[in-house]
């Protein structure tokens, strides 16, 4: 091993300083697991050292470390294509997710030393965890605000996701609540378009929510998408929801940026609003198996920043990811300490942060509910878009089918047995029995 990474001009920085195999991390250090695919002419140890240098105190050539020497990251283990790097906590600005990720997940993905680099996991030390707020409400607060216990909570994304007028949108929401679904939501690309102004939509839809609550005697929710071009506008939209009697906001968690999320978390706590996070654009980061950021990292970031619930995928339905991946994400969001599910990854002490509610959403219909219950348990939202509104009897009938299936599974009753007493569920099971993704 030369212990260096060389470029075309023969410059040799990195490895003597950043490669410390066998020097185990301290409890107060942030640690990362990277899956590394080195460039053809670069050795694994050289590539690993380059990642450690670029994500902490190094540069492309030899420099005197000086006072920065005590802040350098170090590669403490290499196992196959997995590289484990420890970072002193002093490297990071407490409570700043942009600062942390700009370090460990910043320039490193564009380095010539690697053909592929995937951040598989981060263990945030307790000292850094305590710098983040976590959810204001989380699982216990959401259940308390909704008054729902003993079963999974239900949701529905309004379909078609875009194109409905304000009046049409509000009417579909009303029909869905009346059928028995607990919450409805905007989809990720419904903002404030000419055909559906945000402020008018909120006023009209929450008017219909209050009507549905009065008629059903149940608490209902509307996850209204406040995602906008500036944080100031998102705050104005949240304030409008509060004025109209809403209790939820929704943000597109990735596209608004982590500073935007942190800002909304701060402001919505003042307003007493619950945050739903839609994960739009996540797959650009996490889907490629050899490059990017694994979704378990995104899940940890979401809980630290303080969203109350977030989409996880489903394990069934139309989205990528199997049951074991979903169980891991659920554990990260919901458990006090996450134990690794698949080999190399880290336990995480949450230092008392409230659990975030996982939301299963994407290509679901009532026939999926037994599998969802097996994967997620009852402490989750199951959300049905097309699986509600595509019902042959319309949105209200689709919602009845969902509610019947949810309650049956919670009571240990099979869907076939429940469908004998509920024609809407029977129709749903028959319609989507052959759907395969």
Q: Please tell me the distance from the alpha carbon of residue 162 to that of residue 201, in angstroms, as a whole number.
A: 13
**Rounded-to-10 torsion of CA 43, 44, 46, 49:** 170
**Residue among 415, 382, 389, 406 nearest 154 (CA):** 382
**Residue among 177, 168, 249 nearest 213 (CA):** 177
Q: Please tell me the distance from the alpha carbon of residue 101 to that of residue 185, in angstroms, as a whole number.
A: 30
> Collapsing DSSP states into helix, strand and coil, what is residue 12?
coil
Residue 346: the pLDDT is: 87
**Residue among 225, 229, 277 nearest 246 (CA):** 225
Residues of the chain under the 70 pLDDT cut: 1-15, 60-69, 336-344, 436-437
Q: Please tell me the distance from the alpha carbon of residue 351 to that of residue 243, in angstroms, as a whole number.
A: 34
Q: What percent of the chain has pLDDT over 70?
A: 92
Secondary structure (DSSP) of 242-259: HHTT--EEEEETTTT-HH
Q: What are the residue boundaries of the structural domains of the chain, listed by start? A: 15-129, 138-431
Supply the residues annotated as catalytic.
159, 278
Q: Please tell me the distance from the alpha carbon of residue 268 to that of residue 251, in angstroms, as a whole number.
A: 12
Distance of alpha carbon 41 from the chain centroid: 37
Domain range 15-129, CATH class: alpha beta
On whether the CB atoms of residues 330 and 303 are closer than 8 A, the answer is no
Residue 14: the pLDDT is: 61
Q: Please tell me the distance from the alpha carbon of residue 225 to that of residue 244, in angstroms, as a whole number.
A: 15
Residue 150: the pLDDT is: 94
**Residue among 312, 231, 326, 318 nearest 279 (CA):** 312
281-291 pLDDT, tens digit each: 999 999 999 99
Pairing relationship of beta strands 309-311 and 74-79 according to DSSP bridges = unpaired
Q: Please tell me the distance from the alpha carbon of residue 295 to that of residue 293, in angstroms, as a whole number.
A: 6
Q: Please tell me the distance from the alpha carbon of residue 171 to that of residue 436, in angstroms, as a whole number.
A: 30
Domain range 138-431, CATH class: alpha beta
Q: How far is CA 239 from CA 77, 244, 249, 300, in A?
A: 49, 9, 10, 28
Helix and strand numbers, DSSP H then E, in the chain:
17, 15
Residue 5: the pLDDT is: 41
> Collapsing DSSP states into helix, strand and coil, what is residue 108?
helix
- Length of the chain (residues): 437
Burial of 14 by CB count in 10 Å (0-12 exposed, 13-18 middle, 19+ buried)? buried
Q: How far is CA 47 from CA 53, 85, 286, 420, in A?
A: 10, 12, 21, 62
Q: Which phi and psi (to 5°) does residue 34 adopt? A: -110, 140
> Collapsing DSSP states into helix, strand and coil, what is residue 96?
coil
Q: Establish whether the linkage from the previous residue to 160 is cis, with ω within 30° of 0.
A: yes
Residue 13: the pLDDT is: 53
> Collapsing DSSP states into helix, strand and coil, what is residue 294?
coil
Please, what's the largest Cα pairwise distance for the chain?
Answer: 77
Secondary structure (DSSP) of 113-125: TEEEEEEEEEE--
């Amino acid at each position: 091993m030369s212990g260096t990474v060389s470029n075309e001009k023969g410059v040799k920085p990195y490895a003597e300083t950043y490669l410390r195999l066998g020097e185990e991390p301290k409890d107060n250090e942030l640690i990362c697991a990277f899956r590394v695919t080195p460039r053809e002419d670069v050795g694994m140890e050289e590539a690993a050292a380059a990642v450690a240098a670029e994500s902490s105190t190094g540069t492309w050539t030899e420099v005197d470390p000086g006072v920065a020497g005590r802040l350098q990251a170090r590669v403490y283990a290499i196992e196959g294509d997995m590289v484990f790097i420890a970072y002193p906590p002093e490297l990071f600005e407490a409570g700043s997710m942009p600062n942390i990720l700009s370090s460990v997940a910043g320039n490193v993905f564009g380095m010539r030393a690697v053909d592929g680099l995937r951040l598989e996991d981060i263990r945030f030390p307790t000292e850094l965890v305590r710098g983040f707020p976590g959810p204001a409400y989380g699982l216990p607060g959401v259940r308390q605000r909704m008054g729902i216990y003993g079963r999974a909570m239900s949701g529905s994304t309004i379909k078609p996701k875009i194109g409905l007028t304000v009046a049409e949108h509000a009417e579909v929401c009303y029909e869905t609540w009346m059928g028995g679904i607990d919450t409805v939501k905007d989809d990720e690309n419904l903002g404030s378009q000419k055909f559906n102004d945000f402020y008018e939509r909120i006023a009209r839809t929450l008017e219909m929510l209050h009507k549905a609550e009065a008629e059903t005697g149940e608490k209902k929710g509307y996850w209204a998408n406040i995602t906008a071009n500036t944080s100031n506008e998102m705050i104005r939209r949240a304030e409008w929801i509060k004025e109209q009697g809403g209790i939820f906001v929704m943000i597109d968690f990735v596209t608004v940026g982590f500073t935007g999320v942190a800002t909304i978390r701060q402001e919505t706590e003042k307003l007493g609003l619950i945050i739903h996070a839609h994960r739009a654009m996540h797959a650009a980061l996490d889907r490629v198996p050899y490059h990017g950021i694994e979704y378990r990292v995104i899940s940890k970031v979401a809980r630290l920043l303080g969203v109350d619930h977030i989409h996880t995928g489903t394990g069934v339905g139309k989205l990528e990811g199997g049951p074991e991946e979903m169980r891991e994400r659920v554990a990260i969001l919901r458990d006090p300490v996450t134990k690794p599910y698949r080999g190399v990854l880290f336990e995480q002490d949450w230092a008392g942060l409230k659990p975030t509610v996982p939301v299963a959403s994407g290509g679901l219909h009532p026939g999926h509910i037994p599998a969802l219950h097996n994967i997620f348990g009852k402490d989750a939202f199951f959300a049905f878009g097309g699986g509600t509104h595509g019902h042959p009897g319309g949105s209200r009938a689709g919602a009845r089918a969902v509610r019947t299936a949810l309650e049956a599974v919670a009571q240990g009753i099979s869907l076939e047995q429940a469908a004998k007493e509920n024609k809407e569920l029977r129709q749903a099971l028959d319609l989507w029995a052959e759907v395969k993704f």
